[in-house]
Amino acid sequence: MYKNYEIISSIPSPKQETQNRSKVFESGLIREIINKNSDLKDEILVIKLPAEIIEDDGLLANFVDNIKVIADSGAGIILVHDYTNLVSSTLSLFNISQKKISEFRGSDHKTTQIIEMVLSGYVNKKIVSFLCSSNCKAIGISGKDGYLIESRRSVVAQKSCDDVIDFGFIGEPISVNAEILLNFLDNNIITVVSPVSFGLNKVTHILDADLTAAMIAGELSARHLIFLTSLGKLSVSGEGLKICTLSKLHRLHQQNAINKEYDKIIQASKRALENNTKYIHISPSKEYDSTLLTIFTDSHSTKVIL
């Protein structure tokens, strides 16, 4: 492990060497803490990996470095990745207009196939290749593999046909075959899950990544579920929340005290906490070493508990 720390510490974070110096120093201390204790050993972490990290090779490399350190501590890790801008650009290559993309609700099989190709065939494997290049044992699967995830048409998708598409609202997970993931965890393999699954009659669904991560975390009784998001930690009236109970979160949400852009994360957090997940972390995605700082400090993220 010492070698890993030396390699990570010797590489300055691109574009943020000066402005993030204090956080890089703090994460260096965290690496020493990891080296001296085994609090994460045999714990399960589920992390929702957003598009902004996947699309930025610098952020992705730093994220993978964080994952390597956490994996070396003995924790089991499941990553659920989101979609990227590559989905829309690839659809455009197939002469699928932006208007048609906006109106898409899962009935166009050709469009579904293209989205699945991008998510499971390229995005998923890009993440796996970064992990393997850092000497992590990693495998990439979709919700279809081994019938990992069963899904249904999203209630939101059924009710709304007017809004610009959010691909995540095409389907939502209803069950997870945890045994498959546990087999990988038992062999210290990091699993990268593409948000694609089977629905009724073997219909392909593109899933909401937040809800998928929450469903997996609940089924595995994961100790930590981390939502990395460009929205950053939760804030009320401009003041960041360090820790919040689910009941308080619900109350603030009902009072419209929290930005509505957090709605899906809040919904997913509720689902996970009510199904055996102990801690939810809502953390900034565009900061270097964010994953380590989330796990080992109290100020970097909003921690939601039951």
Q: Show the domains of the chain with their CATH numbers.
A: 39-305 (3.40.1160.10)
Mean pLDDT of 275-286: 96
pTM: 0.85
pLDDT of residue 165: 40
Is pLDDT larger for residue 273 or for residue 114?
A: 273
- pLDDT tens per residue across span 186-196: 999 999 999 99
pLDDT of residue 37: 57
pLDDT of residue 202: 82
- pLDDT tens per residue across span 82-92: 988 888 888 88
pLDDT of residue 26: 60
pLDDT of residue 35: 61
Q: Where residue 32 falls among pLDDT bands split at 50, 70, 90?
A: low
pLDDT of residue 275: 93
pLDDT of residue 83: 87
User: DSSP of the chain, one letter per residue?
Assistant: -HHHHHHHHHSPPTT-TTTTHHHHHHHHHHHHHHHH--TTTT-EEEEEE-HHHHT-HHHHHHHHHHHHHHHHTT-EEEEEE---THHHHHHHHTT--HHHHHH--S--HHHHHHHHIIIIIIIHHHHHHHHHHTT--EEEEETTGGG-EEEEE-HHHHH--SSPP-GGGSEEEEEE-HHHHHHHHHTT-EEEEESEEE-GGG-EEEBPHHHHHHHHHHHHT-SEEEEEETT-S-EETTEE-SEEEHHHHHHHHHTT-S-GGGHHHHHHHHHHHTTT--EEEEEESSSTTHHHHHHH-SSSSEEEE-
In the chain, what percentage of residues exceed pLDDT 90? 58
